[in-house]
Amino acid sequence: MSAFKYSASLLSLFASLSTAMIFSAVVMYFVNANSKNDYMERAALLEKRFVENSQEEVKNEVERMIKRMDAIRENNMERKKSSVALKVSSAAEYVSLSLSRGGSYRSADFGRMISAFKGADDSDRFFIVAEDGKVIYHEEDKSFIGRNIMEILKGGSEMKAILSELRDSGGGFGSYMIQDNLSSSGGRKIGYVQKLKDSPLFIGSSFTVESAEEEAKERVKNSIRRERYGRDGVGYFWVNTMDFQAVVHPVTPELEGKNLKNMRSRDGQYIFQEIDKIVKSGGGFVEYFWPRPDTVIPERKMTYVTEYKPWGWVIGTGFYFSDLEKQLEEERQLIEKLVKADLEEVKRVISYLFIAVIISGILIYRMIRRLERKQEGHRNLLEQYKSILDKSSVVTITDEFGVMTYVNDKFCEISGYSRDELIGNRHNIIKHPTTPIENFKDLWGTITKGRVWKGVLRNRRKDGESFYISATIAPILNESGEVIEYIACANDITELVENRNRIEELFNSDSLTGLGSRVKLINDAEPIEYPVLAILDIRGFKQINEFFGNHFADRILIETAREFVACPALSGYSVYRLHSDKFGILADNADILVFKEKIASAMRRVGSILQERHGEDKMIYFTAGIAADKDNLLAYADMALNGAKKLKQDILVYSQADNRIIADFEENLEIIRKVSDALKNDRVTAYYQPIIDLKSGDSEKYECLMRIIDENGDVISPAKFLDISKKTNMYPRLTARVIEKSVAVFKNLPYQFSINLSVEDIFDRDTMDYLFTVAKNNGVLGRLVIEIVESQELVSIDETNRIFEKFKSGGAKISIDDFGAGFSNFDYLMNIRADYLKIDASIVKRVEEDESSREIIASIVSLARHSGMKTVAEFIFNETIAREITLLGVDYGQGYFYGKPEEKPVFISQPPVA
C-alpha cells in the first residue's frame, strides 16, 4: 500500500511537471507574440516622439537664425551710417580749414579738396549745398550744380526743414530719393549732412539703402554657409527667393543662382512649389525626398520653412527620417535577440525536464525538495532583512488614501506614539505646523502619479518636540498600474540638522586665537541700540612677520588676544579678531570718550607686557580707530583707523576726525549715500560687453558688469564704490540686483553670460542659493558663467568645488578672471576645474611690442588646451592686438575694439581678423 502511494506520488509529480512544461511552452509562445506587439506599439510611439521633437528643434533653429539675420542687418546699417558720418565729418573739417585760409567758396576747387575722402570704389559721393538750397558741388552728377536741391529731391519741403534744423544742430541723418527723371542710381538713400564751420554751406554724403541691404545679405549668406547643428552635424539652412531662385545651399552649392520651381523629388513631387504654398500660408512643415549631406541617395526629409519678409527670402531647415529608421532597426534587433534568447532558454528547460523525468522521478522529487528548502532559506533571509530594516529605519505603509496600515517599532519610537494610536490615522498626526503646505502638495503630486518622492520632512513628536527624517516614499502598483498603497522608508537625521548649528558656530570663531570672528562681531552688534567699536592693528606687523617668521608672528597674535581679553580696562567689552593683525573691541552703549581712554590704556598695557616678555628689540605698538554709528559701524571704524595711520596718531575717533582726513570721510560717506540711494530707487543695473568667438567673428557671450546711476543720471563704475560697499551690509544686495537684472535680460536671448563674483559672494550661502534658484527657474542655468574675481583668496579648494558642483551639474560654467597677473598657481588651477581662463589685461595690452607677453599668452593657451579649458583675452583695443591674439590661438576676445559695455547686449558679427 505504501509502495503504491509512493508510486502514485511520483506519477502525480511527473504529471505536474509535464503540465508545467506544456504550460511554459504556451506561455513563451504568447510572450513571443506579445513582444512583437510591444515592438509595434513602441515603434509608433518612438516615431511620434521623434517627429514632434525634431519638428520643435528645426523650428527653433529657423527662429534662431532669423534673429541672427535681424541682428546682422541692423548692425550693418549702423556701420554704414557710422562710416558715412565719419567721412563727412573729416571732409567738413578739411574743407572748412581750406576755406578759412582765404578766397570765396564760389571759386573753391571742392573736387580737389574732397578727393582724399572718396571711397575706394568711388561710392558714397559728396555734395555741397548752400543755405538757400542751391547745389554748389555734386560729385555724382555735375548737372545738379546751380539747381535748387528742393527741385532735385523727392520731398523737397522735408529737406528744407532738415537743412533749417542743421543750422543749429550742426549735423544729422536724413532719408531721401532723387526725382525719377533725374536719378541715375535710383533707390532710397540715407545721407549725413553737416554744416561747414564759419561758412554758409552744408556738406554731405550718402549711401543707398539697397547697397547696405546687399552687404548684409552677403554677411548672412556667409554665416549660413558656416552654420551646422545637430548631433552628427547634418543640420543646415538653405535660402531661396520667393520666385524660386536658390540663394544659399551649403550642401549643394551648384544649385545657387538657379530657378528651382520645376525641381521634382524622387516621388515626382514639385518640391519648391509645395514649399511656396506653405510659405504663403504663413509657414510650416513640408515632407519630400532629399540627399543627406553625408550621402548621395535621396531620403525622406521633413523641413520647416517660413518667409524672411525684409528680403523676401524663404528660409528652411529640416531633419531626415533615416535617423528614426536607425532607432527602429536597433529596437527591432534588440527585441528579436531577446525573444530568440527566451525561446532557446525554453527549449533547454523543457529538454532538461524531460530528461530528468525519464531518468528518475526520485531525482525530480529531490530537486523539488532542494528548491523548496532553498526557497525557505530565501524567505528566512528576507525576514532577517525586514528585521534589520525595521530596526535601522523608519518604515510605514499607507493605503491609497494615505491612512496608515503598518508602522514599525522605529517609527513608534521616534514619533512617541503607540502603534494603536498611529494605525488608522493619517500622517497629519505628526505634521509640524511650520512645514510649508507646498512640500506636501509636491509629495502627493509625485506619488499619486506613480513616481518615487525623496526629501526631508520636519515632523512633531507626541510631546511636541521636533524631529527630522530623510524619507523615500514609493507607490505600490497592481497589475493594472493603479496605486494600491504607499510604502515609506526614512532615516532619522535630527542630530545631523541640529549639528548644523554647531558648524555655523565654527564660522563665528577665529581658529588661531579662539576669539570671535568678523561674522560674530557683525551679528553681536546688530541688536545693540548704540554700539561703539574700536578696530586696532599692530603697527609694523608685516615687518615682524618677515624678520622673525610666521611662528613668532602667530605667537604675538595669540598673546595679544589673550592680554586684551584679560585686560582690566576692557572688562565688560567683547574682543574679536577680524583678520590678519586687526582686532575689534565692541562696547554696548558706552560713553565714547571713556571708551577711548580705556582703549588707549589697554594698548599701552598690552604693548608693555609683550615688550617685556620678548625683549627690547621686539617693541609692540598699536593703532586704533573708533566709531559709534550703528548702520556703518565697521566702515567708519576702519576709516578712523586709516585716518590715524595717515596722521601718525595712536587713536582717532571718527566723529572727531582731523580736518586733513575729513575729505576722505566725506567722500566715503557720499559714496555710501549714493549706493544706498541707488538701491532704494532701483538704479543699480548691469552693462553688457560682448565676448567674440575669434574664429567666427560673432558675439556668443557677454560679461555682465555692475554699474549704479546717480540722481543726475551719471553712470558710476564699481571701482569707485565696490570696496567701501563691501564694508557695509549693502554689498550682498548689490550682487543680488546684478543677478536679477542679468537673468531677466538673457532669459529671452540665446547667449552665454558671465556674472562676476567675489570671495564674499561665493561663501555667502544666501547669495549663491539666490543665484542658483533664479537662474534655474528662468531656464538660463545652462548658459550661466560664474566668473571668479580675487581668486587668490579662495583658500578652501574642497569647499569651493562643493559650492560650484551644484551649478556645474545644471550646466553652468566656471571662469577664472585676471589669470597670469599675480595668480599663477597651476596646481590650484587644476583643482578648481574651471571651464575658461581669462588672460589678464596687463599681459594682453603689451602683446604688440613685448615678446615676453606673447610667450606668456602662448603658454597659457597651451596649458588651457591640455586641461580642456577655453581662453579669453580682454582689453583688446585695436586691430593689431586682435591679430596677435588670434595668431596665438586664443579662443575668445573682449575689448573696445569689438564693443564697449552697453545698457543692452549688442550683437556683433564681423569678419575674423586675419
In whole numbers, what is the pLDDT of the chain averaged over residues?
83
The C-alpha angle with vertex 21 and arms to 17 and 27, in degrees rounded to 5, equals 140
33, pLDDT greater than 90:
no
Q: What distance in Å separates the CA atoms of residue 205 and residue 209, rounded to the nearest whole number?
A: 13
- The 10 Å CB-count burial string (b at 16+, else e) for 777-815 is eeebbebbbbbbbbbeebeeeeebeebbeebeeeebbbb
Q: What distance in Å separates the CA atoms of residue 158 and residue 545, rounded to the nearest whole number?
A: 78
Categorize the per-residue pLDDT at 7 as very low, low, confident or very high, splitting at 50, 70 and 90: very low
Q: Cell match 518640391: residue?
A: 271
Residues 114-133 have a mean pLDDT of 73
Q: Cell match 588670434: residue?
A: 886
More reliable by pLDDT, 737 or 343: 737
Quick one: CA torsion of 876, 882, 885, 891, rounded to 10 degrees?
Answer: 90
Residues 796-808 have a mean pLDDT of 83
pLDDT reported for residue 333: 74
Kindly give the pairing relationship between strand 870-873 and strand 892-893.
parallel
104, pLDDT greater than 80:
no
**Could you report the per-residue pLDDT of 185-210, keeping only the tens digit for each?**
667 888 889 988 888 889 988 888 88
Max mean pLDDT among 181-190, 377-386, 905-914 falls in: 905-914
Categorize the per-residue pLDDT at 485 as very low, low, confident or very high, splitting at 50, 70 and 90: very high
Residues 686-697 have a mean pLDDT of 94
Q: What distance in Å separates the CA atoms of residue 220 and residue 311, rounded to the nearest whole number?
A: 11
> What amino acid is encoded at 558 in this protein?
I
181 half-sphere exposure, CB direction, 13 A CA radius: 2
E strands, 734-825, in order: 752-757, 784-788, 813-819
Q: Cell match 617693541: residue?
A: 619
Residues 639-662 have a mean pLDDT of 77
Q: What distance in Å separates the CA atoms of residue 754 and residue 750, rounded to the nearest whole number?
A: 13
Max mean pLDDT among 120-134, 346-360, 597-611 falls in: 597-611
The C-alpha angle with vertex 165 and arms to 160 and 168, in degrees rounded to 5, equals 140
Residues 737-758 have a mean pLDDT of 94
Q: Can you read off the three cell numbers belonging to residue 561?
A: 588676544
H, E, C per residue of 121-160: CCCCCEEEEECCCEEEEECCCHHHCCCEHHHHEECHHHHH
Q: Which residues have C-beta within 8 Å of that of residue 277, sequence separation ≥ 6? A: none
707 half-sphere exposure, CB direction, 13 A CA radius: 19
pLDDT reported for residue 4: 41
> What amino acid is encoded at 406 in this protein?
Y
The count of other CB atoms within 10 Å of the CB of residue 219 is 18
